Amino acid sequence: MTLDFRPHSRITARTDQVGAEGSPVLVIDNFAADPQALVDHAASLAPFPPAQQTFYPGVRAPVPMPWVQGAHAYLEAALRAVFGLGDQMVVSGGWDFSLVTLPPAELTLRQRMPHVDSTHPGKLALLLYLAPTDQGGTGFYRHRSTGYETITEERFDHYESRLNTEVATLGEPRGYICGDTEMFERIANYEAVFNRMLVYRSRNLHAASLAPAFDGRDDPRTGRLTLNLFLHFQPRSPTQA
C-alpha cells in the first residue's frame, strides 16, 4: 500500500504556551486527509515487534517513508517558526506506529513517571492520535521540588539526583501516571482526539494520560494507536551555511 501525505481540507492549528516556562505546544486538528488509511496500514503490519532501546511501554512498526517525507515537507516551515529553529538543518529522525501494551503491573520505574526523549533543544516530537479519545491523551508535567518542566543538559544531573532521592524517600509510584502526584504536577493535558497531532520539544516532561485500569491492546484497530515522528534540528556549520 502506498501512503502519500495529504493535509485534511479542514485542518486547523494553534500554538499553546504551556506551564511557567511557556514551552510551545503546536496542536493541529484534522491533520491527515485520510487517517483511516493509516489505521488500515498499521493493521496490515500487526503484530508489531516490541520497541527496542526505549522507555516506550509497548510495540512499534515503521511508517511508510513517502508519508513521512510528505508530512515533514508540509510542516517544516511551521515547525521552524513555532520553535524558533531559523535555518537549522534536520540531521536525523524516527518514524513509527506505536501501541501501548504493557499492563500497569509490568512497568519499569521510569515508565511510571513523566519522561523526556532527549535533552537537546532542537529535537521535536510529533504525535498523531489514531485511536478514540478514551484510549488516553498526553500530559505535560512539572517536577515539584525542582520546578523543572523541561530537562536540559545543564539540569539533567541535578534532576536525576533529586528524583532518585525522592523515590527512596516516598517510595516507587504505581501504574501509569495520570494527573498530579507527590513528585509531579500536571500542567497541561491534551485529549487523544482522532487525527490530532501534537508537536513539542522532546525535552518537555510528558507522559501518556492513561487511566489506572488501562487495558493495553495490541490490535491497531482497537488499541492506543499513535503515529510518532521525531525530527532533530541543529545549527549549520560554517561550511554548510
**How do residues 3-27 score in pLDDT, each as one tens digit?**
999 999 999 999 999 999 999 999 9
Which residue type is seen at 221?
R
Q: CA-to-CA distance for 175 and 171, rounded, in angstroms?
A: 13
Residue 239 lies in a domain: no
Give the mean pLDDT of 212-220: 88
The three grid cell numbers given for residue 120, joined into one nine-digit string: 537537546
pLDDT at position 239 = 63
- What confidence tens digit (pLDDT) does each residue in 169-206 have? 999 999 999 999 999 999 999 999 999 999 999 999 99
The pLDDT assigned to 241 comes to 53
Contacts of 152 (CB under 8 A, 6+ apart): 119, 121, 203
Cα–Cα nearest to 142, from 180, 94, 191: 180
Mean pLDDT of 123-136: 93
Pair 202, 54: CB distance under 8 Å? no
Q: Which residues of 66-101 are buried (b: 16+ CB within 10 A; e: fewer)?
A: ebbebbbeebeeebeebbebeebeeeeebbbbbbbb
Q: What is the mean pLDDT of the chain?
A: 94
- How many structural domains comprise the chain? 1
Which neighbouring-strand residues pair with 115? 206
The CATH number covering residue 72 comes to 2.60.120.620
Structural domain boundaries enclosing 162: 12-234
Q: Quick one: pLDDT band at residue 1, thresholds 50, 70, 90?
A: low
Q: How many CB atoms lie within 10 A of CB 175?
A: 16
Distance CA 202, CA 126 (A): 9
Model pLDDT, residue 212: 79
- pLDDT value for 52: 76
Q: How many residues can be counted in the chain? A: 241
CA distance 27 to 38: 19
Q: Is the pLDDT score of 53 beyond 80?
A: no
**Does 113 reside within a domain?**
yes
CB burial string 10-44: b at 16+ within 10 A, e below = eeeeeebebbeeebbbbbbebbbeebeebbebbee
The residue among 151 and 213 whose pLDDT is bigger is 151
The answer to whether position 240 is within a domain reads no
Return the pLDDT at 233: 95
3-state helix, strand, coil in the chain (%, to 5): 25, 30, 45
Residue 240 — pLDDT band, cuts 50, 70, 90? low
DSSP 112: G
pLDDT exceeds cutoff 90 at 236: no
